[in-house]
Structure 1
Amino acid sequence: MLCAIALASLGSSVSSTSAQTAIDDSYCTQISERDKQASDGYPLTDAGSILRQDRANLHRYGRPDRGDDGDFTFVSQNARAQIPQLVTNGNSDPAVLDEIVYGTPSVCVNVYRNHMDVWFRY
């Protein structure tokens, strides 16, 4: 009986871990200078805000950059508002996030329930 309870507990733990690491969405995008300016004109200075504006330029304003893929996650303004925190919660290489701020890289994104990971597209 104790063994059955332990196995059931282990099974639910494994399922929970798998659900947490499942990719919910994935896309690639070209970061441009236009993505580094908020809709009301002020400059954006962190990778999360720039990635958020990139998705707003695609979904809200219909102005994607060449190389911007679509996604299903960030269609709404409320969903896009979560991007900076998702980036903060993620495991992205700091060099990739710095390049988003200081350059115009082509990057890919995996979106998970509670975080997102960003890497260079090659």
Structure 2
Amino acid sequence: MKLSSILLALATFAVAGLSFNPPALAQGRLLEVYVAYLGPDDHYNSRGTRLSEPWQVVRQDRANFHRFGIRDRGDEDDRFFASAANRARMERMILNGYIEGDAGWRIVNDNCWVRVEIYSDSVHIKVK
């Protein structure tokens, strides 16, 4: 086998391997981790409209926690989303990160515990 064929095969393998783990490419520097319970109050915005996207529910949880003082037992504090400007960035950060497995469905449709990892350019969410 030629050296160029071996290098091409290795490059293809490496690219294919990276494509199965996109969060590793987009995570940036880990800033903070918190755990929160997404309860009934987190599934509705301040106008009473039911939220339909996972990032909306997670953002409402942080607005409830930091702005409105509505906290579920066990909700942990975070410094990053204490800022309204950072909460406004959340959708883009989640799109740059990931929501594990069926967590998106569970966040929208259930009350559940989440573990949120905040990176410099993304957010990763796991349902506990």
TM-score (norm 2): 0.75
Secondary structure at 2:99 match in 1:
coil
TM-score computed with the length of structure 1 as normaliser: 0.78
Aligned residue among 65, 71, 76 for 1:69 = 76
2:54 paired with 1:47: yes
Q: Distance in 1 between matches of 2:52 and 2:101?
A: 14
Matched with 1:104 is: 111
CA distance in 1, matches of 2:68, 2:99: 27
Match in the other structure for 2:120? 113
Q: CA RMSD in A?
A: 1.5
Superposition deviation, residue 94 in structure 1: 3.7
- Distance (Å, rounded) in 2 between the aligned partners of 1:75 and 1:109: 14
Would the aligned equivalents of 1:47 and 1:84 in 2 still touch at CA under 8 Å? Answer: no
**Could you say what secondary structure the match of 2:80 adopts?**
coil
CA distance in 1 between partners of 2:69 and 2:98 (Å)? 29
How many residues are treated as equivalent by the alignment?
A: 103
Task: Confirm or deny: 8 A CA contact 2:28 2:122 kept in the other structure.
Answer: no
- In the alignment, structure 2 segments of 5+ residues that lack a partner are 1-23
C-alpha distance in 1, partners of 2:120/2:104? 20
Unaligned runs of 5+ in 1: 1-16
| Identical positions, percent | 30
Which residue of 1 is the match for residue 36 of structure 2?
29
Q: CA 1:94–1:88 in structure 2 vs 1: closer, same or farther (change >3 Å)?
A: farther
**Cα deviations across residues 45-65 of structure 1 (Å, max 9, x unaligned)?**
000010000000000011111
Aligned residue identity for 1:31: L
Higher strand share: 2
Residue in 2 aligned with 1:91?
A: 98
1:71-96 per-residue CA deviation (whole Å, 9 max, x = no partner) reads 01011211111112211211222401
